[in-house]
Structure 1
């Protein structure tokens, strides 16, 4: 245990940073190899089930839909013949002659020309009246037929597809019988037998891999094998279906049957009474998983080799440049601020080296000039004050957006979001001096007023009178917003509507006069006296904890720091008659 602890401490504190990351990456890749092999091998059955159910189920349903689409064409053909008036008229005659039968042939040819379906083997009409010797192209005597399909006719198995053999070669056919009724509909006068090539109807579809899948077979609605490939344990599956389901009705789901060597997936949909069954062998899936496992392991090992090689080369380069940077830091720690810049590239090390060299040079210059240190102190105080303004405003803005969301005004919320984004972008995108044009500050103020007007509705209106010649003049950031916020929050508190805020900018010869006034409640005499006393103080720390007036106090002190004696603030207020603030700043 001590050896492990010692090795761990050596890794944390004594190895180089690049070596730390490289060794950690190697360990993670090795762990990935071990975990992936263990997981795949020990969860193959679950992975197989998931793969089969997600990729094969949809495939077998599409296959059944494809079969139904093909069979629907043949049903359409039979319906066309069954409803043809000429054909019904001829077979309703007691003794039709050859001319009549030739007229029927012509009608059948016309129907076939219009909708000849793919996969048709034979089409025959068997009259049940008239001469038994009559024959034409499509009309044949029933008593001359001796195929097994006649059992279906004797059982009146109409309008259902069935499998049978026919001819001297015992050709397997898929057939359907359709009766033709007399013109008055009182009796059957003829029977249509339509036979198809089952391999055309049940042709395999392309699987997810792009190849034709032959792992399919067809059963009927009683669980009998009809057509297709045969697989191991098929008899057990068929017994399972027949025992569990007497008749499989259309749309009724059939449970998946997991055998010892494979899984059988039965379609939910039925194609004219037929169900498709997809057989997935465990062996092929396990082989695929093993291949995937080997490929994954090989790929990770190759990646590991490339990583170690690249990391070793990178380590040499990084370490060499780090030594140069560390030597510079050691020189500075000894008091030597005269260091030369190095060309170490444009990556993080190069940027750090350049920044460090520039920083040392700047520090050296600041040390040589004492008055710069005083300016630095002043700027630090200024930035500290500005940092207090931004969180204060952000809190209030988020409160507005929260109110919009609560009332579900989503279109307005989008506009408010855009304006808030502009406000935040404005508050962080300027340089550390915090100086902006009056036009930029007014735009910021307008965005803020818009957000507040959405929140408070008709509680107040906003009016401006701005001398456009002043728009290019400069001012510090975030000046007007606290005064407007004070009018809304305190001046209009308890006032449901009718409030007005007036914003005015006038130009003097050397100064700008900025006026912000409202017709709100004003301040109580005691509160105004307290605020006036705070504004007279020179040290901001004396009133830094005064939360009620922190916004106005911040603005006052920031303007005082920036413009000195050229800046003046005048606030006049009377309880019940509103508040008026006048700012005088230099016109620069």
Structure 2
């Protein structure tokens, strides 16, 4: 089935039009999708760079605000005197003054958890909302790290307990120097509530459903917008991914809670904290998936439209060609009346016009050839018919001369016999000279045969016995003119004449299926079966070169040729041995059983 479709012009055109139409859009769609994918990645990269920069900026601003709380008292003489313990009166005065400053700093910002001042031994000198300390702050890691910073800011994450609960605070501490001796005399620390950081950090616009995590430079979790996603238990794995993370989306991926996330990181130059942006990969790819779905819908619609257009074009182009092909098949069946109806001025229309002209010329040539063939057949029939006359005329005249030269008296009847022969001969020639028709009624042909037999009976001096057996309905059938006389002559000359004693010739006509069978049987010398088979083969094949070798049976071949020229090869003559008498030959003429169109001038009476 597929091979048959592939061989059809319509489907060939359909495949090619579809291929030419779809391949460009598929290639274009591929590059368009790649371009949109790159655009999506660039958009996300820009988004992450902007967002982490904004969050980092907010974080730095928050740390700078903490620094502003420390800075006003950092360089005050009262702070130095208080830590140095210079004068009792001055100590209380300075304590009171600094405590007021600390209170003002705390209550000006809700996010400040507490503010503390420690001496070099780690004892807390001033504490506003201060939580309970261990009393051994000098031994704490944060205290030692602050001293090691030598006056630089030290920002860290600390766990504190207050009112029965544990909180995390972001602390900033600095070592305090005696500016005269340039030695460390204490430490100041401000703590900010971790829960208050969210308000400052996340005051940004997010285009994606992203989460933010803030880590210290040591890897401690300062803040997480999604505690279920990022907590202290997932920090180890997250830190490995953050270690090489940048703002690019293409290379930074992490698996969190079994789902892929894209990472972007920026480190604060002020605090050293790392701001990590985590965006679900599905969120980033959502836009590209949407574009891909839109393009898929477009491609399906385009494909269906293209298939419909391609099928329509293929049908439109192939329809006239298929029509011409159908007309050609009719011409192959010898139907030359067909014409292709294709209108237009294109190449197919020109092909249709050329086809019609060709069929018209072929039809004209065939009719001309057919007419020439008919004329040739008529000419051949006349030639064959004329070939009979010399043989018959020679035999008849010889018999008449023989009668007239017999020397008998008039009473002997020789003259009467000669007169009857001349009358019969005159009838036969008059019958033969009427050449306006090739066929006659069988009754007329039998009448002519009877005149011929009358001549032969006189010639053989009553040694010839003739009989007719004609079935009812056969007399009015069509028969070939002058077809029986040569066969009767052949039976007499080659059958009866060589035989001693009385010869017999039987002429019969009967219907067999759709054929008229006219036979001439004799009881003469007969013929060998091999010779009969040879002659029948020659009659069927019609080999001209073999006919020239059979001069003895010239009349048989002439009659057979005339019948086949007029009616066709399925009709004609055949010879066989006479099985009824056991001797002689039967010549049967097979003609179509149909009524004759000829009208007999004088009906011949059957004897």
Length-normalised TM-score, structure 1: 0.38
Of structures 1 and 2, the larger Rg is shown by 2
Length-normalised TM-score, structure 2: 0.37
